[in-house]
Structure 1
Amino acid sequence: MDTIPFAHGPHDLVLIFSVFVLAGLVKGVVGLGLPTVAVGLLGIVMAPREAAALLVVPSLVTNVWQLLAGPAFGPLVRRLWPMLVAIVVGTVGGGLLLPGAGGADAAAALGGALLLYAAAGLASFVLHVPAGAERGASPLVGLVTGIVTAATGVFVIPAVPYLQGLRLERDALVQALGLCFTVSTVALGASLLLAGEYPAGAAGMSLAAPVPAMIGMLCGQWIRGRIRPATFRRCFFIGLLGLGLHLMLRPFFA
């Protein structure tokens, strides 16, 4: 795979800026999707964990904002801590044990994760987690989410369907997603540092990336009041489906 090095030229900087504006716009409209869109699009021109290195700071900023806006931080931490701990274990351990970040395999894995997420969204798949199953399922879901995060830089599968299946109130669900994504982002940053995959150039770009991400979020919030979010969400998943297919099939046509 031909990748963009971390010593970016002007055209590369414009590309990265535009990707984070678009990713922030999606998050502003539908309430999630910034890491998924950013890593998915950047995965076309760089390895997924290289893209994830650029994602750490903007993802942390936007998800902490989402986390602190909710009403039930303490109760959610007490309820979800086994899942959160397992996310950290899976992400850090996976980053140290999985094969290197580059190559077609990593891009195909990213494409597969996007494809599953998009298909579930388009099918309006709703997971129902029985009350008695949560204690055992929570750490397992966290561990799998962490491993997927380590491999692809995307932390929505299976965490998002699982949290939706807990039947939380809307505001609590949004806050739970922010909590999960915040922990995943911190764990991903630690994984990249421990694996020696977070060079100074990536850190500098990541520090600058919240600016276009916040611009996109503000635009998305403005758009949300003028279109049907369900329509935009469907378009988002269709686009994600196409992106996932492209990343999965590209090695066969390279």
Structure 2
Amino acid sequence: MIAFVIGVFALAGLIKGTIGLGLPAVSMGLLTMVISPFQAASLLIIPSMVTNFWQLFAEGRVLSLIRRFWPLLVGIIIGSVWSIFPTLGHSEFHSEALLGGMLALYGLYGLCAKKMPNLSRHDRWLAPIIGYLGGALTVATGVVVIPVVPYLQSLHLKRDDLVQALGLAFTTSTLCLAFFLQQNPLADQPIDYTLSAIALIPALIGMGLGKKIRYRIPEQKFRKIFFVGLIALGLYMIAHQVGWI
């Protein structure tokens, strides 16, 4: 089990280091093929927390970002407390099927999104709605992607601001996920913080190697392969849960 976890997080870190995203999505997608979504999400806590904090605090200006995006953050917190979706560990079929759907949507978004429409003039009322859905889906799938990532990209932020805004949203959702898992333990699935800490090491090594790969192969080609792989993995998870395969 330890060897499998190390391999998964090394691969997920490699992908994140190469294209800047994908660590939670890849980790959850692969881990839930052999363990429950609740256990998989618990292993993400430390690797996600460390990498998200790194991403958030790398450039400074954290307080100004919080002042701008606090409605989004409040929405994430509320959504994680009062989710409209079946939550991790309490409806395994729905959690895994929903995660598969999220991965497939994420892959389709990555392949098809060229230029996002500018929604910045609507962010006052959109932010809490997007945040709520993001928080609700976080405690349902262990991954915050849809709709938070497309929404932030639609604001047409500068590159560094976008990276930090994503880090802020991911950090908030990871804290909410950790709190949810701690407050809703399953007797037969304890949270393994030791294994989660171990998973951080291959994730960081993978990220370092990914940054080197970024300069050796065309990024767009790698991104296309990655997103196609997410679609295939997501569809496989859905088909497996409904008994088609």
Alignment-mate amino acid for residue 146 of structure 2: I
How far apart, CA to CA, are the structure 1 residues paired with 2:95 and 2:149? 21
Identity %: 44
- Kept after mapping to 1: 8 A contact 2:19/2:223: yes
Q: How does 1:209-220 map to 2 (within 5 A)?
A: 209-220=199-210
Question: Are 2:136 and 1:147 aligned?
Answer: yes
- Say which is worse superposed, 227-236 or 135-144, in terms of deviation: 227-236
Aligned-pair RMSD on alpha carbons? 1.9
Residue in 1 that maps onto 2:212: 222
Residue in 1 that maps onto 2:158: 169
Distance 1:202 1:134, change over 3 A: same
- Say which is worse superposed, 120-129 or 178-187, in terms of deviation: 120-129
Residue in 2 that maps onto 1:234: 224
Alignment-mate amino acid for residue 82 of structure 1: P
Alignment-mate amino acid for residue 51 of structure 1: A
- Say which is worse superposed, 103-112 or 56-65, in terms of deviation: 103-112
- Kept after mapping to 1: 8 A contact 2:75/2:135: yes
| Residues 221-249 of structure 1: CA deviation (Å, up to 9, x unaligned) | 11111111111111110110110000111
- Kept after mapping to 2: 8 A contact 1:141/1:162: yes
1:77 to 49, 66, 72: 66
- Kept after mapping to 2: 8 A contact 1:67/1:175: yes
Residue in 1 that maps onto 2:244: 253
How far apart, CA to CA, are the structure 2 residues paired with 1:211 and 1:130? 38
Residue in 2 that maps onto 1:5: none
How far apart, CA to CA, are the structure 1 residues paired with 2:171 and 2:196? 15
Residue in 2 that maps onto 1:3: none
How far apart, CA to CA, are the structure 1 residues paired with 2:235 and 2:25? 14
SS of residue paired to 1:209: helix
Residue in 2 that maps onto 1:89: 78
How far apart, CA to CA, are the structure 2 residues paired with 1:228 and 1:143? 36
Cα distance, 1:69 vs structure 2: 1.2
SS of residue paired to 2:168: helix
Alignment-mate amino acid for residue 116 of structure 1: L
Distance 1:186 1:201, change over 3 A: closer
- Residue ranges of structure 1 left out of the alignment (5+ in a row): 1-11
Alignment-mate amino acid for residue 85 of structure 1: V
Cα distance, 1:51 vs structure 2: 0.6
- Kept after mapping to 2: 8 A contact 1:83/1:141: yes
- Say which is worse superposed, 125-134 or 41-50, in terms of deviation: 125-134
- Kept after mapping to 2: 8 A contact 1:40/1:244: yes
**TM-score, normalized by length of structure 1?**
0.90
How far apart, CA to CA, are the structure 2 residues paired with 1:226 and 1:34? 21
- Kept after mapping to 1: 8 A contact 2:16/2:22: yes
Cα distance, 1:102 vs structure 2: 5.1
How far apart, CA to CA, are the structure 2 residues paired with 1:240 and 1:108? 14
- Kept after mapping to 2: 8 A contact 1:26/1:217: yes
- Say which is worse superposed, 195-204 or 149-158, in terms of deviation: 195-204
**TM-score, normalized by length of structure 2?**
0.93
Question: Are 2:104 and 1:115 aligned?
Answer: yes
How far apart, CA to CA, are the structure 2 residues paired with 1:103 and 1:253? 17
- Kept after mapping to 2: 8 A contact 1:71/1:172: no
- Kept after mapping to 2: 8 A contact 1:71/1:171: no
**Runs of 4+ displaced beyond 6 Å:** none
- Kept after mapping to 2: 8 A contact 1:50/1:101: no
How far apart, CA to CA, are the structure 2 residues paired with 1:31 and 1:99? 26
Distance 1:220 1:90, change over 3 A: same
